[in-house]
Amino acid sequence: MRIRTGQIAPLLIILAGAAALRFVLLDTRELFRDEAASWLLARSAWGEMITRSASEPYAPLYAFLLKAWIGMLGDAPASLRALSAVAGVASVGVTWAWTRQAIGPRAAALAALLVALSPLAIANAREARMYALESLFAVLAWWLIWRLLTSRTPGAGSPLAIAAAALAVAGELWMLPTGVAAFALQATVVAVVAWRRRAGTRAAGIALVLGLAAFVPWLPRLLSVAGGGQPFWTPTPDLTALLQTLGGAFGGWQPSPGWVAVLPLAVLGAFGFGALFRRGFADPTALTVSAGAALVLAWWIASLWRAAYDSRYLGSAVPPLAIAIAAGAESLATRLQRTPQALWGAAAVVLVLVGTGTAAFEANWVSGQGQAPAQAASVVLQTRVRTGDVVLVADAQSYFPLAYLLEREREPIEVPAPIRYWRSGLEPAYTGGDLIRRDATIPRDAGLKPGELPGLATSGSIWLVALTDPVAEIRGFAPLADGRVAEMERLEVTDHGDGGLILRLRPT
């Protein structure tokens, strides 16, 4: 199917809008702890990344890509986030290409617009994390598998086409644990189509096997992490978690008129799934689109066993959901041939409502709410810390954003003292401290006197920083309770409404 000139202009406009929504405000907000953790891992030596990420649930592919990216563009917040922004825009383009080939040009424009405006997709494309790249690899994998399953042209199962699909599958597996669920859904789709003895399943099956084979070296480590402990950040999900994900995908995280659009979009999506399956139970388009969207439900079910449900992980379900919605609109337009303008006018209204959810997300992004006040703490430290002092951070989550501000490769905030992480031993659910270099970690039973604590002078002070959960972090600092250090001064720091504490301590 050739692309007509008249179809290129709408695509370029949509891509330009998607790029604006993802790039324009990248530097208006400091890094939060997870983004700073990405930076911390990416600044490690190439050979250390796998070892230092051993206790994390994420394979290190994103860290490798980010390290290469930093080498080209630097480590400013906008530079770090730009990698995700590029992936976010590319996902819009892939959604358009898949929908155009599977359904048609009008549906392609609508699906691409929905992904371009999706608050969940924009949020993931604004973070120096792996979520946007996971979405790109997943939608690429679905599209390329769909092409192998549906194409009847010679060479559709060529080594190049199979290799491309295998690389996309390997990418989704190496990026996030949700890639394992996506792979299982893709394998199920290929098995169902093969059961109907449709051409193309052999090539798609080979691509899946090759993609999985590339991931096998990391699989034991993933299973080991998955079997240990419960993530501290997310409880076992209930039914409202599914609604929150759907709302975040197209209505926004904050109250806005965008929430009004969720219900009609859900109805259109249900209508679209029905229209696709009318082509046949084993129709590759119906199966790939529905299975791609079913990732949300599959991950929700898996989280009942081991809680790991977070809407940020599920951005790769947004393109298939958008395609189903576009399929529903296209089917209705075909049925209502006498009044298609009214239908597409209603679709325009719904898109405007989705845009209000996007605007609400933008306002929240600029406000910077929900972040540890690392910037405010670094300013206090810059003005108060002296040579011979030591900065101790009481929790790994607080350490990440502060270390980024003080130890950046370019334009760090100058503080004349080393920054160290105090491993309290009170973080059993969170193992992110393993991302921190050993020479920057102070164990719980370490000495805190001059000559024992590296960098502390005889007349020096220990500056204890607690930003994420200040009261709990300071309570977990054992030397205060057992009298090894005495509190000399207590400073409160606030930023964006969130508060932290800095204590000046002296060994006793």
Q: Supply 125's token pair.
A: 């494309």
The number of angstroms, rounded, from the C-alpha of 486 to the middle of its chain's C-alpha atoms is: 41
Q: How far apart are CA 292 and CA 326, in angstroms?
A: 15
Global confidence as pTM: 0.92
Query: What CATH number does the domain located at 374-507 have?
Result: 3.40.50
Handedness of CA 311, 320, 289, 183 (dihedral sign): negative
- What separation in angstroms does the CA of 363 have from each of 119, 256, 368, 440, 494? 12, 11, 9, 37, 20
> Would strands 498-507 and 419-422 be described as parallel, antiparallel, or unpaired?
unpaired
By three-state DSSP, how is residue 485 classified?
Answer: strand
pLDDT digits (tens, 9 = 90+) for 388-433: 999 999 888 899 999 999 998 888 999 999 999 998 766 545 566 7
498-507/485-495 β-pairing: antiparallel
Q: Which residue intervals of the chain bear CATH 3.40.50?
A: 374-507
Task: For the chain, list residues with pLDDT below 50.
Answer: 230, 232, 428
Q: Dihedrals φ, ψ of 29, to 5°?
A: -145, 135
Could you tell me the two tokens for 46?
């190439």
Are 378 and 418 in contact, with CB atoms under 8 Å apart? no
pLDDT in tens, 433-487: 778 888 899 988 889 999 999 999 999 999 999 998 898 889 889 899 889 999 9
The pLDDT score that the predictor gives to residue 428 is: 46
What is the SS3 string spanning 447-473? CCCCCCCCCCCCCCCEEEEECCCHHHH
Contact 91, 139 (CB under 8 A): yes
Burial 391-419 (b: 16+ CB within 10 A, else e): bbbbbbbbbbbbbbbbbbeeeebebebbb
What the block records as the tokens of 44 is 């490690």
Maximum distance among all Cα pairs of the chain, rounded to whole angstroms:
87
Q: Are 501 and 472 in contact (CB under 8 A)?
A: no
The per-residue pLDDT for 358 is 82
pLDDT digits (tens, 9 = 90+) for 29-46: 888 889 999 999 999 888
CA nearest 466: which of 492, 427, 489, 505?
492
| Tokens, residue 408 | 């950046």
Closest CA to 356 of 132, 126, 124, 119: 119
The pLDDT, as a whole number, for residue 79 is 95
Orientation of helix 340-367 relative to helix 105-117, angle to 10°:
20
